[in-house]
Amino acid sequence: MSGEISLDTNIVIRLLKNDPLVTKKLASSTNFFLPIPVIAELLFAPKNSSRIKENIVIYNEFIDFCNVLNITRETADHYSTIRLDLKKRGCPIPENDLWIASVCKEHAFPLATGDYHFDNVHGLKIIKL
């Protein structure tokens, strides 16, 4: 796997825990991208942990290493399309994941994730880890 790739929260956490599968699969990627909802979830994780100070440093260093994918009006358009499609098919996904999928579709970046519900988002490039 090479090139530009967007990371879901669960992949970042596995990467920071040195998960060998994730580390190996992402080793050849050149640019990591984090959608804003992923960053929000990553900033929440250390605040919700028993080692707040240490984890905040680790998570912020990783976030600073990556490129940020902001939410735009185009993202919102993708969001509305994806959400309506999933609603019609009776397979909703969590709110933050709707935004993550929308940002990835906007930029045409594949999403590395361990979540299977992203399979329901038409046109989203997924890398399962």
Residue 90 has pLDDT above 70, yes or no: yes
% of the chain at pLDDT higher than 90: 94
CATH number (3.40.50.1010, 2.60.40.1220, 3.20.20.70, 3.40.30.10) of 3-128 reads 3.40.50.1010
Residue 68 has pLDDT above 70, yes or no: yes
Could you report the per-residue pLDDT of 3-17, keeping only the tens digit for each? 899 999 999 999 999
**Coil/strand/helix, residue 70:** coil
b/e string for 35-74 if b means 16 or more Cβ within 10 A?
bbbbbebbeebbeeeeeeeebeeebeebeeebeebebeee
Residue 1 has pLDDT above 60, yes or no: no
Could you report the per-residue pLDDT of 108-125, keeping only the tens digit for each? 999 999 999 999 999 999
Check: pTM over 0.85? Answer yes or no: yes
Reported confidence tier of residue 28, pLDDT bands at 50, 70, 90? confident
Question: Which residue type does 69 have?
Answer: L
Beta-strand runs (E) in 26-66? 29-35
